[in-house]
Amino acid sequence: MKSAQIIEITRFGPSEVLKIREEPISALSDGEVLVEVKAVGLNFADIFERMGLYAAAPKAPFVPGFEVAGTVAEVGLGVKNLTVGQRVFAVTRFGGYKSYVKTDQALVKPLPDGFSYEEGAGFPTTYLTAYHGMINLGHIAVGEKVLIHAAAGGVGTAALQIAKIFQSEIFATCGSPAKIEFIKSIADLHAINYKSQDFEQEIRRLNSGKGVDLIMDSIGGRSFRKGYRLLNPMGRLIIFGLGDMMPSGRRRNWLKLAYRYLTLPRFNPFKMMPDNKTIAAFHLAYMFESVNRLGKAFAQLLEWANAGKLRPIIGRTFPFEQAAQAHDYLQSRKSIGKVILTLD
């Protein structure tokens, strides 16, 4: 029986809890596809999972990972439009850190024209997140003013590219001079270093005292409160993460986490109604039961990608066996674009 290399979170803790081993590949069920993985996309959610701070995750030990790219190794009965040897990407609900990934055919799509495997692994989860937030929930309209936080990261760069398609006036935040220069190279935008500037005040200054129409926020804490104040009437605040709660060290500081949780803003609907402002939040890991609803999003994203309007930005790659080092790098917040694990 053929086997796969896998990387497990053996217990919750620092990056050393990631261990590599082999497991047998079970037979395919009807409608399933086996992908020989060439690249794995990393996400901040992987860090939260490893540290035991991700409510949607299974109990340890388990295999993390939400997005991969590679070639079709085998197809089950009833699989349509996919053939052995075809270059593809796939979405997984955990289980992506494997050399062979088995998943439903609905979650496997052909790689866009000209994409490398690394770019393919950086595409599905990242761009679905940006699309669902900005379009399905945010109802972005052409020419609106958009604020994108953590703009130098994977979802941030995806959101910048989608905002360009809608000819948005873009305000973008990140936390270092190098990242400021980087995001300026992607789009015509107003770049704000949140470590040295108050983004709320700076946007008001740049915008004649006015705010924005749409905000993509994965930060949390005071960022949510400032963002709500910045919304113009009919504005939408889209929440898809709590990056402010990520531990900066190797272990969890429960006191600090409790403080950050308890100080999250609470929004009063009696105030929201006369303000005419919307807050929406989502979590892709809880949407797999409704994955067919994302088919339209996938189709549009692939159309834009094949037209050259979307392309993942790969900041750094690590060999598969160096997953622990890749986690440390991602957690350092020094990364730009996507961090990818590669397999021969």
Mean pLDDT for the stretch of residues 71-96: 95
d(CA 28, CA 31): 8
Residue 296: predicted pLDDT: 86
Give the tokens for residue 338.
Answer: 């996507």
Residue 79 has pLDDT above 90, yes or no: yes
Rounded to two decimals, the pTM is 0.92
d(CA 142, CA 162): 11
Residue 252: predicted pLDDT: 64
Pick the closest to residue 215 from 223, 207, 227 (CA basis).
227
Give pLDDT tens digits for 18-71.
Answer: 999 999 999 999 999 999 999 999 998 899 899 888 888 889 999 999 999 999
Give the tokens for residue 283.
Answer: 């979590």
- Could you count the other beta carbons within 10 Å of the beta carbon of residue 262? 7
Q: Where does the chain hold its CATH 3.40.50.720 domain(s)? A: 127-285
CATH 3.40.50.720 for the 127-285 domain, yes or no: yes
Q: How confident is the model at residue 259 (pLDDT cuts 50, 70, 90)?
A: low
Instruction: Kindly give the residue spans of alpha helices, DSSP state H, lying in 87-166.
Output: 117-121, 124-131, 154-165
Percent of the chain with pLDDT over 90: 75
Residue 48: predicted pLDDT: 87
Give pLDDT tens digits for 220-230.
Answer: 778 889 999 99
Residue 93 has pLDDT above 90, yes or no: no
Q: Phi then psi for 41, rounded to 5 degrees?
A: -85, 135
Please work out, in degrees rounded to the nearest 5, the angle formed at the alpha carbon of residue 112 by the alpha carbons of 152 and 86.
130
Q: Where does the chain hold its CATH 3.90.180.10 domain(s)? A: 3-123+312-342
Mean pLDDT for the stretch of residues 133-142: 97
The answer for residues whose C-beta is within 8 angstroms of residue 199's C-beta and 6 or more apart is 147, 171, 173, 192, 226
Residue 53: predicted pLDDT: 84
CATH number for the domain formed by residue range(s) 3-123+312-342: 3.90.180.10
Mean pLDDT for the stretch of residues 2-16: 94
d(CA 153, CA 156): 5
